[in-house]
Amino acid sequence: TSPAIGIHDLAVATTSRVVDLDDLAARTGVDPAKFHVGLGQDQMSIPGPDEDIVTMGAAAAQRIIERHGVEGIRTLFFATETGIDQSRAAGVHVHELLGLPRTVRVVELKQACYSATAALQSAAGLIARNPDERVLVIASDVARYEVDTAAEPTQGAGAVAFLVTADPALAVLETAAGVHTAEVDDFWRPNDSMTAVVDGKLSISAYLDGIAGAWDDYASRGGAPIAEIDYFCHHQPFTKMAVKAHRALGQHVGVELDPELVLATTGYNRRIGNSYTASLYIALAALLEGDRDLAGARIGMFSYGSGSVSEFFSLVVQDGYRAVTRAAETEALLAGRDRVDIDAYRALHALGSRDSNVDVDIPGESAVPFHFAGISGRARRYTRS
Ligand code: CAA
């Protein structure tokens, strides 16, 4: 029989700066309740000039490597939809920054917010073949929309790193998984654009179609009955979306589901904003690092990537999982961000389109350990504090 495979450890990272959505509401003349209640968002992380998907991903992965070392790691999957290069995987920069062995293969996976789930499933496949291998998965994204649009308050930036292993300490990945793919023009980022193109209303309905389709496939493949799923993590482009998803799933299945349960997953994403590929796994971190005792609980996970690919799968939390959770670390990261005003944030937003030679000043003191140092010879350079 094959061993149980799943998530052995998981760490969150984000940027050094944060925008409070009360400030954005005041600047744009919007009722703050629209953001806090209507969208379920309070803040959004904003990258400084020296921060991007590599620096966040490296910061998250560093904490995994510090605890577990590199033994057994043969593969690094880097999931992102805000890639920094059309060819080279962002994970190659992380590999260098962390000094990982030459004997690690590195590849980038893309399908909007979904691809970290593809990484998790692919990792499980590799480990099923060789249970001594461990796979490092990084999901890292910067959500950027045009300023003065309805999507502006749903920006954000964050990363997770997780280690996929046999006999995991945190949560076992169950075998049944349900998938739903449908081409739809709800959200995408053309090659000539630094910001995503989005049809907000269509994106919400495509997401809800995705959860219904993925659930049906999950159920038909021997997934757990809905009454045997204790908690639900749904992808959180804004946290109210998880509540909508939960209601829609209940209606689809024909049972009343309690949206209160979903609120146990939203605490971090309310403060980070959308982190695309990382968002679902940051929701998982919020649940695992919260007050509830989850040992033995089954968590239903819904992953949605616009365009669109959806997947519903389930995890079972392991006894003793609390020994590896990182609540204090995550809280310190969130609390340690500098609050920037709207002028400063919009100046940073305007910087996002640099792609030719530039030097970036590295701050003497910084809340984050890795830095984007600039572009020379059209190649991106990175450094550590
Ligand atoms: N007090 C309380 N609530 C208020 C309010 C007030 N004063 N004013 C408005 N609201 C509520 C509205 O009633 C609405 O709630 P419901 O959805 O529950 O009806 C909510 O605030 C949003 O308001 P609008 O319906 O007017 O929507 P909007 O024009 O502000 O746009 C959005 C919202 C479509 C999410 C937009 O922010 C957007 O396009 N965001 C980017 C796309 C996105 O996140 N899509 C999600 C699905 S796609 C996906 O999941 C992939 C991904 O990561 C991007």
Taking the alpha carbons at both ends of the chain, their separation in whole angstroms is 46
**CB-ligand 1 contact for 195 (6 Å cutoff):** no
Q: Is 81 a catalytic residue?
A: yes
Amino acid at 190: P
Q: H-type helices in 19-113, by residue range?
A: 21-28, 32-33, 53-68, 90-97
Tell which one of 22, 28, 39, 274 to mutate to probe ligand 1, the residue whose CB is within 8 A of the most ligand atoms.
Answer: 39
**Spatial distance between the Cα atoms of 25 and 146, rounded to a whole number of angstroms:** 16
Confidence of residue 360 (pLDDT cuts 50, 70, 90): confident
pTM of the model: 0.97
The predicted-structure confidence for 227-240, as pLDDT tens digits, reads as follows 999 999 999 999 99
The predicted-structure confidence for 316-357, as pLDDT tens digits, reads as follows 999 999 999 999 999 999 999 999 999 999 999 998 655 556
**CB-ligand 1 contact for 35 (6 Å cutoff):** no
Tell which one of 203, 240, 244 to mutate to probe ligand 1, the residue whose CB is within 8 A of the most ligand atoms.
Answer: 203
Whether the predicted pLDDT of 2 surpasses 80: no
What pLDDT shows up at residue 192?
A: 87
Q: Is 113 a catalytic residue?
A: yes
Tell which one of 198, 199, 202 to mutate to probe ligand 1, the residue whose CB is within 8 A of the most ligand atoms.
Answer: 198
Interval between CA 39 and ligand 1 midpoint (Å): 5
What pLDDT shows up at residue 195?
A: 86
- Establish whether 274 is an annotated binding residue: yes
Q: Which atom of ligand 1 is nearest to the CA of 201?
A: 34
What pLDDT shows up at residue 1?
A: 63
Cis peptide before 366 (omega within 30 of 0): no
Interval between CA 36 and ligand 1 midpoint (Å): 11
How far is C-alpha 182 from the geometric centre of its chain's CA atoms? 22
Confidence of residue 358 (pLDDT cuts 50, 70, 90): confident
Q: Which residues pair with 73 in a beta bridge?
A: 134
Interval between CA 212 and ligand 1 midpoint (Å): 20
Per the CB < 8 A criterion, the answer to whether 155 and 54 are in contact is no
Q: Minimal CA–CA distance to 152: which of 27, 336, 305, 55?
A: 27
**CB-ligand 1 contact for 151 (6 Å cutoff):** yes
- Establish whether 145 is an annotated binding residue: yes
Nearest CA to ligand 1 atom 33: 150
Nearest CA to ligand 1 atom 28: 150
Interval between CA 236 and ligand 1 midpoint (Å): 12
Interval between CA 247 and ligand 1 midpoint (Å): 16
- Establish whether 258 is an annotated binding residue: no
**Weakest-pLDDT range from 73-87, 184-198, 289-303:** 184-198
Tell me which of 81, 108, 174, 289 is the catalytic residue: 81
What pLDDT shows up at residue 90?
A: 98
What pLDDT shows up at residue 377?
A: 86
What pLDDT shows up at residue 149?
A: 95
Give the H or E element holding residue 147. Answer: none
**Spatial distance between the Cα atoms of 1 and 166, rounded to a whole number of angstroms:** 12
Interval between CA 270 and ligand 1 midpoint (Å): 14
42 token code pair: 């309070």
Q: H-type helices in 311-356, by residue range?
A: 327-335, 342-351
- Across the chain, mean pLDDT equals 96
Q: Which atom of ligand 1 is nearest to the CA of 238?
A: 44
